[in-house]
């Protein structure tokens, strides 16, 4: 507790003139420098399923003590990776997903509630300089890959500038983007020039009418044009994300696999996941094993490929096909034990788990005038509180969390 209190007093002493920072200071002492989710979209929720707030203060203090001792080790070059980004289970978080906007030009059923979402006021979203400040800090601590998400990241006017500045960061190996593909064909030459390395494109149906039903907008041919443009410009593989929902598009599995015969695509079938307002239920979810069994009826010689330890997808290939298929099995066979990902929402909140509703507002700490060292203490404490695994699909479905569009895909 002493480490925790001393850090809070250092924060207070540095910013004693700031009323806003005094508020952060009190929250810090109470171990509550976090927001369950954006106040712009939900009322405050004090409880996270299976975790009482009563235990948050000692956990916070314990995390800070762990960060402090680990940082001393790092200074002595014993630890090769940032102590602040290493959790209590030894997971090293070298992959950061940053949402650039809450806005989107589609209205996908699994991502956005039917009646829409209340958007965060622009002044409460991260500015360009704040995005780059946080990115720079995380890269200095060992992040090697940054993925830009949304909403739809390519509708943010300064997306090219952000990518170009990220490209200058020493140590950052990969810049990726997840997009709905609507603006991709037009922007891709400039995106590539700016330094974009990888592309994931969302596509949930190969039937134009069904596509429009799922995303509640027209645009199927624009997405297909974007996929073809990415292949033409040498991206390999071009990843295509398909959320599979029973009664809607599970009958297209074989058609999606067939796409990989002639094109260097990696089609990734994603199990339907519960988020606020997307009307998830277990009966709509098609499990990885069910999908795999169905595909193997058509291609019994489907081969499983070796993947890296931190890869989220279980990857397979039909022999002789140019591309491959993958399965994101978050619900039926989670991969929490090898998770290396952190998320920052468009309004600046750090989420250490996609399915957890605990958040820490890095935006508020940044705007209070905190130093990089103080920011790292807050980040390290949040990472230290990351749980061993998520609560399971049935518990998650009952938990209050942001809609996916306000988290960042």
Concatenating the DSSP letter of every residue in 18-31 gives -HHHHHHHHHHHTT
Spatial CA neighbour of 238 closest among 196, 281, 273, 279: 196
Cβ of 141: how many Cβ atoms within 10 Å? 22
Task: Extract long-range pairs of 371-375: CB within 8 Å, 24+ residues apart.
Answer: 371/14, 372/137, 374/7, 374/10, 374/11, 374/14, 375/137
- Which residues have C-beta within 8 Å of that of residue 10, sequence separation ≥ 6? 374
Residue 214 confidence (pLDDT)? 87
Rounded Cα gap, residues 375 and 160, in angstroms: 27
Spatial CA neighbour of 25 closest among 372, 360, 371, 368: 368
pTM: predicted TM-score of the whole model, two decimal places = 0.77
Rounded Cα gap, residues 360 and 382, in angstroms: 7
Cβ of 75: how many Cβ atoms within 10 Å? 10
Rounded Cα gap, residues 340 and 95, in angstroms: 6
Residue 49 confidence (pLDDT)? 31
95 alpha-carbon distance from chain centroid:
9
Cis peptide before 141 (omega within 30 of 0): no
Residue 4 confidence (pLDDT)? 41
Strands 349-351 and 324-328: unpaired
Please work out, in degrees rounded to the nearest 5, the angle formed at the alpha carbon of residue 186 by the alpha carbons of 184 and 189: 90
Angle between helices 372-384 and 56-75 (to 10 degrees): 120
Contact indicator for 188, 164 with CB cutoff of 8 Å: no
Question: Is the torsion defined by CA of 205, 206, 210, 216 positive or negative?
Answer: positive
Rounded Cα gap, residues 41 and 403, in angstroms: 9
Rounded Cα gap, residues 208 and 181, in angstroms: 14
Taking 3-state DSSP, the helix, strand and coil percentages for the chain, each rounded to the nearest 5, stand at 40, 15, 45
Residue 140 confidence (pLDDT)? 96
User: In the structure encoding, which two tokens stand for residue 66, read together?
Assistant: 């762990």
Contact indicator for 177, 198 with CB cutoff of 8 Å: yes
- Which residues have C-beta within 8 Å of that of residue 234, sequence separation ≥ 6? none
337 alpha-carbon distance from chain centroid:
17
Rounded Cα gap, residues 202 and 185, in angstroms: 14
Rounded Cα gap, residues 150 and 156, in angstroms: 9
The beta strands (E) that lie in 150-211 are given as 174-179, 198-202
Residue 7 confidence (pLDDT)? 41
Residue 375 confidence (pLDDT)? 96
**Tokens 């019994």 belong to which residue?**
300
Contact indicator for 96, 344 with CB cutoff of 8 Å: yes
User: In the structure encoding, which two tokens stand for residue 42, read together?
Assistant: 């939900």
Domains of the chain plus CATH, in order, are 83-406 (3.20.20.70)
Q: Give the mean pLDDT per block of 10 residues along the chain (409 residues).
A: 40 45 46 39 33 36 44 44 92 96 78 73 96 98 96 95 98 97 96 98 95 87 97 97 92 98 97 59 83 98 89 92 94 78 94 78 96 96 83 52 51
DSSP 299: -
Contact indicator for 154, 202 with CB cutoff of 8 Å: no
């Amino acid at each position: 507790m002493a480490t925790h209190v001393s850090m809070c007093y250092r924060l207070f002493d540095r910013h004693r003139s700031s009323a806003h920072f005094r508020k952060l200071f009190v929250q810090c002492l109470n171990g509550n420098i976090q927001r369950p989710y954006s106040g712009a979209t939900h009322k405050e929720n004090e409880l996270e399923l299976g975790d009482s707030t009563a235990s948050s203060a000692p956990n916070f203090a314990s995390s800070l003590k762990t960060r402090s001792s680990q940082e001393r080790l790092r200074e002595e070059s014993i630890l090769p990776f940032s102590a602040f980004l290493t959790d209590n289970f030894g997971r090293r978080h070298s992959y950061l997903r940053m949402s650039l906007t809450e806005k989107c030009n589609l209205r996908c059923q699994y991502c956005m509630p039917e009646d829409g979402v209340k958007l965060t006021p622009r002044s409460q979203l991260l500015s360009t300089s704040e995005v780059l400040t946080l990115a720079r800090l995380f890269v200095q601590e060992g992040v090697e890959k940054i993925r830009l998400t949304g909403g739809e990241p390519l509708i943010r006017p300064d997306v090219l500038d952000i990518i170009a500045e990220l490209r200058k960061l020493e140590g950052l190996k990969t810049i990726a983007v997840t997009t709905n593909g609507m603006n991709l064909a037009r922007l891709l030459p400039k995106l590539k020039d700016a330094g974009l390395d990888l592309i994931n494109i969302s596509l949930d149906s190969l039937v134009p009418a069904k596509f429009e039903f799922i995303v509640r907008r027209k645009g199927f041919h624009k997405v297909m044009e974007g996929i073809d443009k990415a292949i033409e410009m040498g991206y390999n593989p071009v990843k295509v994300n398909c959320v599979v929902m029973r009664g809607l598009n599970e009958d297209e599995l074989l058609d999606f696999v067939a796409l990989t015969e002639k094109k260097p695509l990696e089609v990734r079938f994603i199990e339907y996941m519960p988020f606020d307002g997307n009307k998830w239920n277990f009966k709509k979810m098609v499990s990885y094993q069910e999908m795999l069994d169905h595909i193997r009826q058509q291609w019994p010689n489907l081969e499983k490929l070796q993947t890296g330890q931190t890869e989220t997808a279980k990857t397979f290939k039909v022999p002789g096909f140019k591309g491959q298929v993958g399965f994101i099995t978050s619900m039926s066979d989670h991969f929490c034990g090898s998770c290396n990902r952190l998320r920052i929402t468009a309004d600046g909140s750090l989420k250490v788990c996609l399915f957890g509703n605990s958040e820490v507002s890095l935006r508020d700490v940044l705007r209070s005038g905190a130093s990089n060292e103080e920011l790292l203490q807050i980040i390290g404490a949040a990472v230290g509180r990351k749980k061993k695994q998520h609560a399971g699909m049935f518990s998650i479905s009952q938990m209050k969390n942001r809609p996916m569009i306000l988290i960042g895909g």
